Amino acid sequence: MSPLGFLMTYVKRHKWQYILGIITLFIVDYANLFIPELTGEVTDGLTARTMDMNGVMITVLKILALGLTLAIGRFFWRYFLFGSARTIEKEIRDDMFAHLETMDVEYYNSHKTGDLMTRFTSDLNSIRMSIGPAIISIFDATVMALMVIIQMMVYVNVKLTLMTLVPMLIIMVGEIYYGKVMHGKYRQRQEAVSDLTDFVQESFSGIRVIKAFVRERRQLKEFAKANQNAMDKNLSIARWQSVVNPLLTVVIGSSSLITLIYGGYLALVGDITLGRFVAFHQYVNMLVWPMIACGDAINMFSQGFASAKRIQEVFAEQPEVADGEKTKPVPELKGNITFNHLTFIHKGMSEPTLKDVCLDVPAGTTLAIIGRTGNGKSTLVNLLLHLYNTKPGMILLDRTDINDIPLHTLRENIAYVPQDNFLFSDTLASNIAFGTHEKSMERIVEASRAACIHDNIIEFPEGYETVVGERGVTLSGGQKQRSSIARALIKDAPILILDDALSAVDTDTEEHILKNLKETRAGKTNIIIAHRVSTIQGADVIMVLEDGAAAEIGSHRELMQKGGIYAEMFEKQQLEAEIGEQQAAIRRDIDSVSAKGATV
């Protein structure tokens, strides 16, 4: 579909507003035609002394009535046309946001946030201008110009009109070429603005890293490059405008010059009256706006179509992860999970991230997954959430292929605590209640107690109404993790996934949270990913991932008896803990001796 066709699908929804707006605009332009004519009549009447003061007053009243008509008409065409353009801008923004919500994670891995933000703001603003002000400009550039030209021919002189129009035709031909050139330049500018926006957004999000590594000067230089690129693209447009706009003024001025020279001659020899000469000069001035409007319309259409093409690119993308033809409603999930020879390869990778993983997890089981970094632990739970597609039959929930379960149903039945512990810039109460329709404070507090975050929250001045910063930046790592756990617990889903969700809490707090989980989630399925063996040793089943394969599966006791990878990890972590305790004891002894020496 062309950019024009894309925009017309939205314009058609508001066709009656556009029709009423154009009718009102036509009435305004038509009423405008009579003002020069009335001015000419007064001039001729006063010159020939055929009009008395009473006639002048009647003409003035007619002009005032026309002025009132113009004022009312301009209000209504703005109301209909500008209002419709604003509404369409909102509808496209709503549709684009809804569409982007359906896109899978792979799309966001390959598309920058700043670029998407520019499409939501700058591009949509250009589209609004092309379906609002541009419509008015193109109407005036055609219909009004045509009406004025006809009036000039009928009321004044055909030959004078044709001579005056020669420069106008030059403008029209030039502006067609100008529009084609500007279309490409506006697209380049929008892409440069997208790059700049993305750089700024990423820099502000990572400001702590920039400061920690003292990279402010480097970021400033990179920003200057992106800013310079955006300025160069804007200057390229400005250069064309700086050439075209003065030329436009020169050509329009030449039409006025022709009017003064040849029209003045016709008035002197008596072919036209002085009043008609004055009226013709006013008509020429009335043609100036349509000619300028033509350039403005081409400008706005060039920007709008370039932006519409960028918006279409968003809508053209379709999610790879979506409900298929075999998707059908399923009864409430109980939490039985089966991995049946699960193998998965990420896009762009030659080797599989997961290799032939087989495991049956009965409902009510606590499954722990451990392994070195990059061995596929997070990928496994992402597949369980159906964030990526798997081959049929590789993952079953309650004996139903995950590909046949509606995405909404699947994710409604899974509570998830991701590694990054994302929190919204909202109150703690709203963040914790985010995953449930029930906003009961009783349930929020209950979930917070289970996640061992309640005591911290009530110490804040605003308590649960404390507004956290962007991405929860005002909280510590442990507080963010526990808030995310509370958000998952309040959902009370059949399946709970904790993806390394206890890494930032101390061992005592971890022990309390695990104990609470055991009590509050009895009979429900829990999947815990961790690097610390102490976190998972109480799980019913432990799966050790090594190079993407399930190297070991069993309980803590069974795996320790095997003396394999898990036992080695356990012993290594125990040794590290003992060394840490010894070092802490030595530091305490040193501090004690130093304190005694200071006292003496």
DSSP sequence for 37-91: HHHHHHHHHHHTT---HHHHHHHHHHHHHHHHHHHHHHHHHIIIIIHHHHHHHHH
- According to the model, what pLDDT value does residue 175 have? 66
Rg (CA), the chain: 37
**Same structural domain for residues 274 and 401?**
no
Q: Is 597 a domain residue?
A: no
**Same structural domain for residues 9 and 87?**
yes
pTM of the model: 0.73
**Same structural domain for residues 63 and 143?**
yes
Contact 296, 140 (CB under 8 A): no
**Same structural domain for residues 307 and 341?**
no
**Assigned token pair, 482:** 């526990």
Q: Which of 285, 316, 347 is the last residue of a domain?
A: 316
Contact 540, 573 (CB under 8 A): no
Supply the range of the domain harboring residue 343.
337-567
Contact 481, 421 (CB under 8 A): yes
Q: How many CB atoms lie within 10 A of CB 184?
A: 11
- According to the model, what pLDDT value does residue 20 have? 92
Residue 225 phi, psi (nearest 5): -65, -50
| Number of structural domains in the chain | 2
Q: Is 321 a domain residue?
A: no
Averages of pLDDT over runs of 10 residues in the chain (600 residues) are 84 90 85 73 68 75 84 87 90 90 81 80 86 82 74 70 69 67 75 80 72 76 86 82 72 70 70 69 69 73 84 87 79 87 83 88 90 82 88 89 88 86 83 80 88 87 82 77 88 88 82 87 88 83 88 88 85 72 61 53
**Same structural domain for residues 308 and 392?**
no
**Same structural domain for residues 461 and 552?**
yes
**Same structural domain for residues 309 and 413?**
no
Q: Is 592 a domain residue?
A: no
**Same structural domain for residues 141 and 103?**
yes
**Same structural domain for residues 424 and 295?**
no
**Same structural domain for residues 296 and 346?**
no
CATH number for position 436:
3.40.50.300
Q: For residue 332, give the DSSP letter.
A: P
Can you tell me the distance from the alpha carbon of 538 to that of 526, in angstroms, rounded to the nearest whole number?
A: 12
337-344 sheet: strands from edge to edge: 354-361, 337-344, 395-397, 400-401
Q: For residue 214, give the DSSP letter.
A: T
**Same structural domain for residues 457 and 308?**
no
CATH number for position 33:
1.20.1560.10
Can you tell me the distance from the alpha carbon of 187 to that of 303, in angstroms, rounded to the nearest whole number?
A: 7
**Same structural domain for residues 409 and 472?**
yes
- According to the model, what pLDDT value does residue 593 have? 54
**Assigned token pair, 231:** 């300025």
